[in-house]
Amino acid sequence: MKPDNSILDIAKQTIKNESDAIKNLISQLNKDFEDAVNCIIESNGRVVISGVGKSALIASKIVATFNSTGTPAIFMHAADAIHGDLGTVQKNDVVICISKSGNTEEIKMLIPLIKRGGNKLIGITGQMDSILAKQADFALNSYIEKEACPNNLAPTTSTTAQLVMGDALAICLLKLRGFSSADFAKFHPGGSLGKKLYLRVSDIVGNNLKPKVSIDSKVKEVIVEISEKMLGVTAVLENGKVVGIVTDGDIRRMLNKHENIGGLTAKNIMTNNPKTIDSNVLAIKALEAMQEKGISQLLVMDKAEYVGVIHIHNLINEGIL
């Protein structure tokens, strides 16, 4: 049986429902949120985040976000906590419990155990008159008017609100800690994201051949050098210093312009003042420079010394582009 609305209409309504609920979270923020952030910052322990059902899945995601942005965190399932895993919580840890109703049996049993241990408790709940909200040291209001589910049953909008509240906490903590892109790179060394944050030109250029000719090299030598080094370019040196560059494009333009190329040298066809980049620069900066200048290669320098060529294909192969 087909629904009354089209598939796209249903999808649009779902997104609108959730986006409206997220906007409403702004007006629900209060001093408890600020105090919760300060509590975490001032703590010498970790953040233990707990929940049951779909809230447990959201808790796990928030843990991952905290850990990747400089706030040590660990997940503890509320049901497992009351059956032996409460030892996860250490003396100086701050505990966050997530529950839409704030009255689930596991959460109700867990609250006094946390309080007995002297740990600070942050509650994220959609019911501010719930046991969790009343017993928490800091209660964060994730109230939503209704779920995206047409039966108002399946956790959809409510879990989105919980996740956004967790993101808001994480970003506040990140800002207060002065967590930088360099810090981020330490926790994300793998994949293209990590490479953008730590991979340097020097890590790449050493894997390439090093094309170079002298300023007096004959055109045939220049063509052979470009062909053999397979980077579509060669540096032109005079007395060991870079004075120019010859690219595939320069070769094509030369062939179109000159009938007789026998007497030509690198000096006659090179481009002066070639674009260069320092070997210690991040590879992502090399990509940005190439895109800005509309070129495919950069000569790589270590101070005044020519060390090789970085090609846009290198950056593609590394997943930078």
> Does residue 172 lie within any of the structural domains?
yes
What is the C-alpha radius of gyration for the chain, rounded to an integer number of angstroms? 30
- Which helix (H) or strand (E) covers residue 293, if one does? helix 283-293
Last residue of a domain, one of 179, 213, 236: 179
- Pair (170, 68) in one structural domain: yes
- Pair (174, 230) in one structural domain: no
Query: For residue 201, how far is the Cα from the chain centroid?
Result: 20
pLDDT tens sequence across 238-286 = 999 999 999 999 899 998 888 888 889 999 999 998 999 999 999 999 9
Q: What is the distance between the alpha carbons of residues 286 and 92, in angstroms, rounded to a whole number?
A: 45
Which tokens hold the place of 25?
Answer: 């979270």
pLDDT tens sequence across 1-32 = 555 679 999 999 999 999 999 999 999 999 99
Which tokens hold the place of 232?
Answer: 């579509």
Which tokens hold the place of 149?
Answer: 């589910």
> Does residue 191 lie within any of the structural domains?
no
pTM metric for this prediction = 0.69
- Pair (80, 168) in one structural domain: yes
> Does residue 193 lie within any of the structural domains?
no
- Which helix (H) or strand (E) covers residue 212, if one does? strand 212-214
- Among 178, 179, 182, 177, smallest CA distance to 37 is for 177
Name the domain count of the chain: 2
- Pair (163, 244) in one structural domain: no
